[in-house]
Chain A
């Protein structure tokens, strides 16, 4: 049975490469989308089939199938009903879904690791990094979505910039403190603290950025979710997740830089929410 999984994962990985390649050329873009979608569908169906092949039908399997059917129908309806001008919002919204998935994975797997008395600190740090990136991408994308819908305005105060720096430092330092037993926290407490810090960081990261720069930010958050996916893939020893996540991560960073170039702004100015120094900001909006 494993051979089926390996072959379909390999095919799915090829389909991602061809899909991304075709999506970046105007004649084949539609075909590329269909190829990548087909590869993804194959991979997911085989994963469900392979994971639950041996065991009996449990409540887990039933919940998974309900969730997949519900998610497919909801995703289809949301993308069909939205107006054409609202497409960037939707991309941000669905990116938030991916980030939220990474956050939830981190929480669940963290409890499993804790209960299993696993003392592999590197695996724990990989898990927590994936969770933090997912959480940042989740809350950041939600704010980007709300900003594009005009529900949230830019907040550019000194407090926000100080808070974002403090949060970054504490997110980097805290795992080290726990590793060297300066702070005595168990894994669940650590995950709870880091997860909430990362969620708040996502908010203060996107708040100061101007509404016109949102597509660049969405692309950046998109590539962040890709990195979270790849880290989760390392944890599960799943090559498809690693490759898919890394493709999106590296392609997303390049795409972000290209979009900045197309708008004639530097990435740094976009992230700092800087309007005074760049004279071209009026033309970009």
Chain B
């Protein structure tokens, strides 16, 4: 456990800074933007797709069970990203129509 902490000092600092930055950047959000912001954040955590791609690289080409699971993982991650950003776009387009 201690080895893990000393070996990963830079990531731990990085994570702590990211926590405060994440709180800071959205702290002034008005109530009307709660839903689009939620949707946008939802799209951003789809970056787990990068992990799915790296995992897929390590799976042996004849391991059909894991290839199928990896295919599903990449598909779900892509759905998360594309769906998230397109939905955010649609919610925001609704706002601009209302203002006109």
Q: In the complex, are the beta carbons of A68 and B78 less than 8 A apart?
A: yes
In the complex, A102 Cα to B94 Cα: how many Å? 31
Contact of B27 among A248, A252, A254 (CB under 8 A): A254
Known: A20-B26, A43-B47, A84-B90. A63 touches B56 (CB 8 A): yes
Identify 4 new A-B residue pairs, CB closer than 8 A, beyond the known A71-B79, A101-B80. Answer: A63-B70, A75-B84, A250-B23, A254-B26
- A residues less than 8 Å from B61 (CB atoms): 58-60
B11 to chain A, nearest CB (A): 6
**1/0 contact trace for B58-97 toward A, CB 8 Å?**
1101000011011111111111111111111111111110
Q: In the complex, are the beta carbons of B26 and A76 less than 8 A apart?
A: no
Interface of B, secondary structure class, is helix
B67 to chain A, nearest CB (A): 6
Nearest chain-B residue to A17 (Cβ)? B25
Q: In the complex, are the beta carbons of B35 and A87 less than 8 A apart?
A: yes
Q: In the complex, are the beta carbons of A37 and B34 less than 8 A apart?
A: no
Known: A29-B33, A87-B39, A250-B23. A242 touches B77 (CB 8 A): no
Known: A26-B30, A60-B57, A79-B86. A67 touches B74 (CB 8 A): yes
Q: In the complex, are the beta carbons of B57 and A52 less than 8 A apart?
A: yes
Number of interface residues of A (CB under 8 A): 99
Q: In the complex, are the beta carbons of A67 and B78 less than 8 A apart?
A: yes
In the complex, A58 Cα to B19 Cα: how many Å? 39
A129: Cβ under 8 A from any B Cβ: no
**1/0 contact trace for B12-28 toward A, CB 8 Å?**
00110011111101111
Please provide the chain A residues from 99 to 149 with a CB less than 8 Å away from any CB of chain B in the complex: 100-102, 104-105, 107-109, 111-112, 122
Q: In the complex, are the beta carbons of A87 and B87 less than 8 A apart?
A: yes
- A residues less than 8 Å from B80 (CB atoms): 94-95, 97-98, 101
Q: In the complex, are the beta carbons of B47 and A240 less than 8 A apart?
A: yes
A152: Cβ under 8 A from any B Cβ: no
Q: In the complex, are the beta carbons of B57 and A51 less than 8 A apart?
A: yes
Q: In the complex, are the beta carbons of B22 and A30 less than 8 A apart?
A: no
Nearest chain-B residue to A33 (Cβ)? B88
Could you give 22 example pairs across A and B, Cβ below 8 Å?
Answer: A20-B37, A23-B26, A23-B40, A24-B28, A24-B30, A29-B95, A30-B96, A36-B43, A40-B47, A51-B53, A63-B70, A71-B75, A87-B39, A87-B91, A93-B83, A94-B84, A98-B80, A236-B54, A240-B50, A243-B14, A248-B42, A251-B37
